């Protein structure tokens, strides 16, 4: 995919992008409320639209978490630490939860005035919705906006990722250079490494570099499964003192469970949820209600936000 020529679909991991601005952007409205998350979110859409020139923009919201993953592993995403607020308020520290919910609701309301579609599917994760969209709806060209490494497994010549944290595109070549693992085997590698942010334990002593060194087959051009690697460990363990082989065998059930948790496909989506995703995409009617957006901005004390420039950046989005 050539971003200078093609017009991909922009798929935004909404909560991931929002929380970055909510935690770091200190913008206040005329009433003294913190609105940095909402303002930063809109500005990010404008900047990305200018950079990518997308034909569609799809914002995907969290649907309350995956009931299927929690059934597989009750500790999934348990004990997550609250978001640290990286801004200074002096003595007036706001109620972060209420303010967060207010800003998210404000974003949803404002985007309804634009040609940006929004998807919310109950009882599933945004990751699964994004994975479905990237694999089955927009595989010919899309850019995923998120700092989450869960999406590296989806990368291909036609699927890229924009990391707001790195402020750069994540490509298969960049992943291979940094981790030593090709993207088609990245999810397999993570099953052994685990993911502390989601409370998913891995194999003791397993890291990307260690896996690449001890199981070089994972660095090859072809896909290798979790079971294939476990079989290699079983073959090599009797004549080797390398702890990784023995630890992987001991944790084989955990590794197989991790594949069910980490692999992004339709396995963690119900048929009804897939139907709802398709319905949202197929029936979306883009709006270009600039006056409506401006009224919301005035009402919320955000009259300084440049609605004209915002709509100019979205001029070619969802035009058939």
Task: Note the pLDDT tens digit of each residue in 4-54.
Answer: 457 899 999 999 999 999 999 999 999 999 999 999 999 999 999 999 999
Tokens of 310: 């915002």
CATH topology of domain 181-262: DNA polymerase; domain 1 (1.10.150)
Axis crossing angle, helix 186-193 with helix 252-262, rounded to the nearest 10: 130
Please tell me the predicted confidence (pLDDT) of residue 6: 74
Which comes out higher in pLDDT, residue 78 or 127?
Answer: 127
Label residues 43-80 b or e (16+ Cβ within 10 Å = b).
bbbbebbeebbbbbbbbbbbbeebebbeeebeebbeee
Distance, in Å, from the CA atom of 27 to the CA atom of 17, rounded to the nearest integer, reads 16
In angstroms, the CA 31 to CA 297 distance is 12
- The domains of the chain are located at 9-178+264-313, 181-262
**Stronger pLDDT, 10 or 75, i.e. the higher one:** 10
pLDDT of 77: 81
Confirm if 7 and 119 have CB atoms less than 8 A apart.
Answer: no
Pairing of strands 168-170, 159-163: antiparallel
Both structure tokens of 70: 């929690």
Cβ burial of 81 (10 Å; 0-12, 13-18, 19+) is: exposed
6-10, 25-29, 65-69, 86-90: the lowest-pLDDT one: 86-90
**pLDDT tens per residue across span 190-207:** 999 999 988 999 999 999
Q: How confident is the model at residue 95 (pLDDT cuts 50, 70, 90)?
A: low
Spatial contact of 21 and 44, defined as CB atoms under 8 Å apart: yes
At the fourth CATH level, the homologous superfamily of domain 9-178+264-313 is 5'-nuclease (3.40.50.1010)
**How many CB atoms neighbour CB 189 within 10 A?**
26
pLDDT (tens digit per residue) in 233-254? 999 999 999 999 999 999 999 9
Q: What is the pLDDT of residue 214?
A: 96
Q: What whole-number distance in Å separates Cα of residue 73 and Cα of residue 200?
A: 9
Q: Provide the β-strand partners of residue 159.
A: 142, 156
- DSSP string across 116-178: -EEEE-TTS-HHHHHHHIIIIISTTSEEEE---GGGGGG-BTTEEEEETTTTEEE-HHHHHHH
What is the structure's pLDDT at 111?
97
The answer to whether the CB of 212 falls within 8 A of the CB of 181 is: yes
């Amino acid at each position: 995919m050539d971003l200078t020529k093609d017009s991909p679909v922009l798929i935004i991991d909404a909560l991931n992008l929002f929380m970055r601005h909510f935690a770091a952007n200190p913008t206040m409205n005329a009433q003294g409320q913190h609105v940095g998350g909402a303002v930063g979110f809109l500005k990010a859409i404008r900047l990305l639209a200018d950079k990518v020139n997308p034909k569609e923009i799809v914002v995907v919201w969290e649907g309350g978490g995956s009931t299927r993953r929690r059934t597989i592993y009750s500790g999934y995403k348990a004990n997550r630490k609250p978001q640290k607020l990286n801004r200074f308020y002096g003595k007036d520290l706001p109620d972060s939860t209420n303010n967060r919910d207010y800003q998210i609701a404000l974003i949803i309301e404002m985007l309804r005035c634009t040609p940006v579609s929004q998807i919310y599917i109950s009882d599933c994760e945004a990751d699964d919705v994004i994975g479905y969209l990237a694999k089955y709806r927009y595989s010919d060209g899309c850019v995923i906006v998120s700092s989450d490494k869960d999406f590296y497994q989806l990368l291909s010549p036609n699927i890229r990722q924009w990391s707001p944290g790195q402020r750069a595109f994540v490509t298969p070549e960049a992943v291979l250079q940094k981790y030593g693992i090709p993207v088609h085997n990245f999810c397999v590698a993570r099953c052994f490494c685990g993911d502390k942010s989601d409370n998913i334990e891995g194999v003791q002593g397993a890291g990307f570099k260690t896996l690449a060194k001890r199981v070089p087959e994972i660095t090859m051009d072809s896909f290798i499964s979790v079971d294939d690697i476990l079989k290699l460990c079983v073959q090599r363990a009797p004549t080797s003192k390398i702890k990784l082989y023995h630890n992987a065998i001991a944790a084989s059930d955990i590794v197989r469970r991790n594949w069910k948790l980490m692999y992004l496909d339709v396995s963690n989506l119900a048929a009804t949820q897939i139907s709802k995703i398709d319905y949202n995409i197929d029936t979306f009617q883009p709006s270009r209600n600039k006056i409506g957006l401006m009224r919301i901005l005035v009402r919320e004390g955000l009259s300084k936000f440049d609605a004209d420039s915002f709509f100019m950046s979205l001029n070619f989005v969802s035009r058939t």
